[in-house]
């Protein structure tokens, strides 16, 4: 029996001029994993909200057509009833956890269904085991990291063993390691439990290998509903697919890194070794003094808590564009806040020209009545910051920070929830920046596109500081997809660099297996 | 959100209903009693409990804002009360409130009110820091579903809004020479509260909260700590009842101070110390 069916669904948010969904028809069968693709604002989140019953029951607006979740018609059954069939996970883990402890959070959905105490206890234990949360069960939710919160929220969505899982960019706040772990769990749920999954995600290359179908939305319409390989052949949406296309290799577009490597067997030059990761030379005294930013042996130790920064040293001058990378909790945001003067180091010295910092929540920078009060020439000048989309708010805040005229600009995860097109545009804009640029990011593809230098933070320390070609070509997690396909050869990070390496080293074959 | 951490004392290890009831019983003693000897003992016991439960910092935080209020209560009573026979200060005759006399009795009674307030607030701090709010909310949902919804939303929303306020204030310091007033930040947090409440409410919806089922009754075995704290709470109630019945802890402030220091009061004070501290003696199974 079809687990999710949209039949001619159109939807307008209250007072919206244009529909967010237009005549959407699709069906998801049990055990399928469907990837929702499309640019920001294309209707992916609205589609998921319609599937969970939040649209129209919770958000109001005008609704036409019919959505069936299992045997439930969402026009007759609200989100609470639909929750028995479909588990839902949104982007922001902070507002998805409603109880004070992990155990209470997992028990909550089962209690709401009126299950017996024994069934609740059993369900909590099983969900915790399935997601590796056994050690967290008695932790307070406000003590958890973003990655842990997201896993708890996923467990809460799964605890009732739903037949369908609806996920809206679940990895957008996670580092590559935590993101891969979460996707591994989803694959297991899908393959071993037969849970149908509908997943909206911008980082397509991560999810494509697990997908059975790709549904592409544009302007609220379904413009494609096809197997991943056919969709990829048409869109070349992953770096590996672009690499093969740019190198002129006529092979089926690779869905996985493994397939791409197979397609390139024998073509990767054996003499193009990965650049060696040599420790950077310490800048001379004169260079250190002339630097616009000097962070010297900076520590930040929390009262009654851990040391978040442990002796970080960093010098940077105008024209340097630095990507700060590392796992959630490695100290990236803390370092940026310390440099911007929001936090006081407990040890060490810090000397910096004026800094403009974009925090992880761009809307926080826009407190005036209109966007025009801070950005008079913006096309959104007459609008209130709360009335524009998340993407528009993000772009406005970014503009505000970049125009502040500060010699040092620091951006904390500026590409979160950003589609590929906008990410490329931002990278191009950042490449024009003349001062010191520091960007904390989990996105290796983005770092490769703008950075002249990459620093890997681990446990509050700078564990590597090198040009991106060195740092992002040799790692397992902090590496671009092209670097993984080429095994780090020649330090190529982007499809264009990879294609140049391949075409320089060998004649392009007419066909590669 | 409560600051309750992982279990580290017998009070933390007790079920929420019993822990909450014990804190309430501890607060009932100063509410029922005005005798400085017993009140002093309650306050000393509050400090001891804070040390035994590792909540000294929570208690200190409460004291930082409660002490000025307590002082204000004491001074207000001293300035406005016309009772008491021992005048210690004769001030000017004002159009309102008239002649200012400060009596030793009014000062002492103000101090008693302040002590009672501090003792009750200390108990409230223990409820917030050592009792599982989720379990209490769960009990509330069993009793009244709608109230449970409101309380759950409010409890969850409070820390979210507090973090929003911290973030917004930080963001205003992120541009050189820029900044917004505290009023602007406060306005943004309050107007954003509706958005945040909508987000949290949407999560409650997709977790099935609207299905209006009451949570099941938990068949949880009574631990040694549940039993000990229940016995202690009952004994505290008996002590408070004895004060109300005039069996011990007598006190009158006006016209002259009279503080009972008789044998029943001394025995009641000793019993109070024993009742409060005894449940903490057994540390088995608290981790």
Neighbouring residues of B274: CB distance < 8 A, sequence distance ≥ 6: none
Which DSSP state fits A346? S
For A406, the closest chain B residue by CA position comes to B176
Q: Which residue has the tokens 């706040």?
A: A173
- Extents of the domains making up chain B: 10-135+225-281, 141-211
Q: Which two tokens stand for residue A473?
A: 């070509």
Vertex B183: Cα angle to B177 and B188 (nearest 5) = 90
* Contact status, residue B157 vs residue A97, Cβ threshold 8 Å: no
DSSP, res A486: T
Comparing CB atoms, the residue among B7, B187, B215 nearest residue A111 is B215
Q: How far apart are CA A345 and CA A376, in angstroms?
A: 36
Helix or strand (DSSP H, E) at A294: strand A293-301
Residue for token digits 């749920």? A189
d(CA B133, CA B139): 10
Contact predicate A359/B167, CB 8 Å: yes
Residues A120 and A111 sit within 8 Å (Cβ to Cβ): yes
The alpha carbon of B192 is separated from its chain's Cα centroid by a whole number of angstroms, namely: 30
- Within the 179-218 window of chain A, which residues sit less than 8 Å (CB to CB) from chain B? none
Q: Does B6 touch chain A (CB under 8 A)?
A: yes
Question: How many C-beta atoms surround the C-beta of residue A64 within 10 A?
Answer: 14
CB A348 within 8 A of CB A295: yes
pLDDT tens for chain A, 513 residues long, are 899 999 999 999 987 888 999 999 999 999 999 999 998 889 999 999 999 999 999 888 999 999 999 999 999 999 989 999 999 998 777 778 888 889 989 998 998 888 888 899 999 999 998 888 888 898 888 778 777 888 899 899 989 889 999 999 888 777 888 888 888 888 888 998 899 999 998 888 889 999 999 999 999 999 999 999 999 999 999 999 999 999 988 888 999 999 999 998 888 876 666 666 555 667 778 877 889 999 999 999 987 778 999 999 999 999 999 999 998 888 999 999 999 999 999 999 999 999 999 998 888 888 888 889 888 988 888 888 877 777 788 889 999 999 888 999 999 999 887 888 889 999 999 999 999 999 999 999 999 999 999 999 999 999 999 999 888 887 778 899 999 999 888 888 999 999 988 887 655 444 433
Instruction: Tell me the per-residue pLDDT of B5-33, one tens digit each, with 9 for 90 and over.
Output: 444 799 999 998 899 999 999 999 999 99
**A304-322: b or e for each residue (b if 16 or more CB lie within 10 Å)?**
eeebbbbebbbbbebebbb
A357 → chain B, closest CA residue = B174
- Per-window interface: A 56-115 vs B, CB < 8 A: 57-58, 78-84, 87-88, 90, 92, 94-101, 104, 108-109, 111-115
CA A261 to chain centre: 25
How far is the C-alpha of A441 from the C-alpha of B35, rounded, in Å?
63
CA distance B53 to chain A (A): 17
Kind of pairing between the strands at A453-458 and A321-325: parallel
Tell me the chain A residues in contact with residue B216 when contact means C-beta distances shorter than 8 Å.
Answer: 111, 114-117, 120
**Integer Cα distance of A285 and A288 in angstroms:** 5
Q: How far apart are CA A464 and CA A478, in angstroms?
A: 12
Q: What angle do CA A75, A76, A77 make, to 5 degrees?
A: 100
CB of A393 within 8 Å of a chain B CB? The answer is: no
Give yes or no for B218 touching A (CB within 8 A). yes
- Domains belonging to chain A, first-starting first, are 4-242 (3.40.50.300)
Which tokens in the block code for residue A393?
């708010």
| Cβ–Cβ under 8 Å, residues A168 and A45 | yes
How near does any CA of chain A get to the CA of B281, in Å? Answer: 24
Residues in B touching A407 (Cβ below 8 Å): none
Tokens standing for B58? Answer: 């929570």
Mean per-residue pLDDT for B159-166? 80
| Helical pair B16-32 and B104-130, crossing angle rounded to 10 deg | 180
Inform me whether the C-beta atom of residue B217 falls under 8 Å from chain A C-beta atoms: yes
Flag whether residue A33 sits within 8 Å of chain B, measured between CB atoms.
Answer: no
- Cα dihedral sign, B47-B49-B51-B53: negative
Mutate to test the interface with A, among B54, B56, B156, B207 (most CBs of A within 10 A): B207
- What are B166-192's pLDDT values in tens digits? 888 888 888 877 666 778 888 888 877
Distance from CA of A118 to the nearest CA of B (A): 8
Contact flag A140-B156 (C-beta cutoff 8 Å)? no
Q: What is the pLDDT of residue A202?
A: 86
pTM of the model: 0.79
The overall average pLDDT reported for chain B is 87
Element (H, E) at A450: helix A444-450
Residues 6 or more apart whose Cβ sits within 8 Å of residue A505: A267, A268, A269, A271, A272
pLDDT score for A511: 40
Separation in Å, CA of B204 to nearest CA in chain A: 7
User: CA A141, CA A138: separation in Å to the nearest integer?
Assistant: 9
Q: How far is A277 from chain B (nearest CA, A)?
A: 34
**Region of residue A417 (left: phi > 0; alpha: psi -120 to 50; beta: else):** left
Contact between chains at B205 and A80 (C-beta distance less than 8 A): yes
**Tokens, residue B204:** 């409650």
Nearest residue, CB atoms, A54 vs list B168, B202, B207: B202
Per the structure block, which two tokens stand in for A38? 């499309």
Residue A329: count of CB within 10 angstroms of its CB: 19
């Amino acid at each position: 029996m079809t687990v999710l069916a949209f039949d001619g669904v159109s939807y307008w948010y209250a007072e919206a001029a244009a529909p967010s969904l237009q005549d959407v028809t699709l069906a998801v069968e049990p055990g399928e994993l469907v990837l929702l693709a499309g640019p920001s604002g294309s209707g992916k989140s609205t589609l998921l909200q319609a599937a969970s019953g939040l649209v129209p029951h919770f958000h109001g607006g005008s609704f036409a057509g019919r959505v069936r979740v299992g045997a439930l018609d969402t026009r007759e059954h609200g989100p609470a009833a639909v929750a028995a069939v479909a588990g839902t996970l949104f982007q922001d883990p902070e507002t998805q956890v409603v109880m004070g402890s992990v155990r209470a959070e997992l028990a909550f959905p089962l209690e709401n269904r009126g299950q017996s105490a024994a069934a609740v206890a059993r369900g909590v234990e099983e969900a915790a085991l399935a997601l590796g949360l056994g050690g967290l069960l008695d932790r307070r939710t406000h003590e958890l990291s973003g990655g842990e919160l997201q896993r708890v929220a996923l467990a809460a969505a799964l605890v009732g063993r739903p037949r369908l899982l609806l996920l809206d960019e679940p990895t957008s706040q996670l580092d590559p390691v935590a993101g891969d772990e979460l996707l591994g769990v989803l694959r297991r749920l899908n393959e071993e439990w037969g849970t149908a999954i509908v997943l909206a995600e911008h980082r397509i290359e991560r999810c494509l290998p697990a997908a059975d179908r790709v549904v592409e939305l544009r302007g609220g319409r379904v413009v494609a509903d096809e197997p991943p390989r056919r969709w990829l052949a048409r869109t070349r949406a992953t770096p590996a697919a672009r690499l093969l296309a740019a190198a002129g290799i006529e092979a089926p577009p690779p869905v996985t890194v493994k397939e791409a490597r197979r397609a390139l067997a024998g073509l990767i030059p054996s003499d193009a070794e990965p650049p060696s990761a040599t420790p950077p030379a310490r800048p001379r005294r004169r260079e250190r003094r002339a630097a616009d930013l000097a962070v010297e042996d900076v520590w930040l130790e929390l009262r009654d808590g851990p040391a978040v920064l442990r002796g970080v040293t960093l010098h940077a001058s105008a024209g340097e564009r630095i990507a700060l990378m590392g796992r959630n909790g490695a100290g990236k945001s803390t370092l940026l806040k310390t440099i911007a003067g929001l936090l006081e180091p407990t040890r060490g010295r810090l000397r910096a020209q004026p800094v403009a910092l974009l925090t992880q929540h761009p809307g926080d920078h826009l407190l005036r009545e209109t966007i025009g009060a801070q950005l008079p020439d913006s096309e959104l000048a007459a609008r209130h910051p709360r009335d524009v989309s998340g993407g528009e708010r993000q772009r406005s805040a970014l503009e505000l920070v970049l125009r502040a005229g500060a010699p040092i600009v620091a951006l904390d995860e500026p590409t979160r929830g950003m589609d590929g097109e906008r990410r490329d545009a931002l990278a191009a804009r950042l490449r024009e920046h003349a001062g010191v640029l520091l960007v904390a990011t989990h996105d290796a593809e983005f770092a490769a596109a703008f950075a002249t230098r990459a620093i890997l933070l681990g446990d509050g320390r700078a564990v590597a500081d090198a040009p991106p070609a060195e740092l992002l070509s040799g790692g397992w997690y902090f590496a671009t997809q092209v670097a993984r396909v080429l095994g780090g050869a020649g330090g190529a990070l982007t499809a264009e660099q990879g294609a140049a390496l391949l075409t320089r080293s060998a004649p392009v074959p007419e066909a590669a297996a | 959100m409560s600051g309750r951490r992982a279990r580290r004392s017998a009070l933390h290890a007790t079920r929420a209903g019993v822990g909450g009831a014990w804190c309430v019983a501890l607060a009932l003693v100063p509410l029922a009693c005005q005798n400085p000897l017993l009140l002093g003992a309650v306050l000393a016991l509050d400090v001891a409990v804070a040390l035994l439960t590792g909540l000294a910092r929570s208690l200190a935080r409460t004291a930082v804002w409660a002490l000025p209020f307590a002082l204000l209560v004491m001074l207000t009573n001293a300035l406005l009360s016309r009772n008491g026979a021992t005048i210690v200060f004769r001030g000017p005759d004002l159009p309102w409130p008239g002649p200012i006399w400060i009596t030793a009795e009014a000062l002492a009674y103000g101090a008693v009110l302040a002590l009672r307030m501090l003792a009750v607030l200390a108990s409230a701090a223990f409820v917030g820091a050592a009792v599982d709010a989720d379990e209490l909310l769960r009990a509330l949902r069993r009793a009244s579903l709608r109230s449970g919804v409101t309380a759950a939303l409010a409890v969850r929303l409070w820390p979210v809004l507090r973090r929003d306020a911290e973030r917004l204030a930080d963001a205003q310091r992120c541009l050189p020479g820029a900044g917004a007033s505290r009023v602007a930040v406060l306005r943004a947090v309050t107007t954003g509260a509706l958005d945040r409440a909508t987000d949290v409410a949407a999560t409650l919806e997709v977790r099935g909260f609207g299905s209006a089922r009451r949570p099941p009754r938990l068949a949880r075995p009574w631990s040694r700590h549940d039993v000990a704290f229940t016995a202690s709470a009952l004994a505290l109630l008996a002590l408070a009842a004895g004060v109300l019945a005039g069996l011990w802890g007598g006190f009158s402030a006006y016209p002259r101070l009279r503080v009972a220091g008789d044998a029943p009061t001394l025995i009641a004070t000793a019993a109070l110390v024993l009742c409060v501290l005894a449940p903490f003696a057994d540390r088995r199974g608290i981790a």
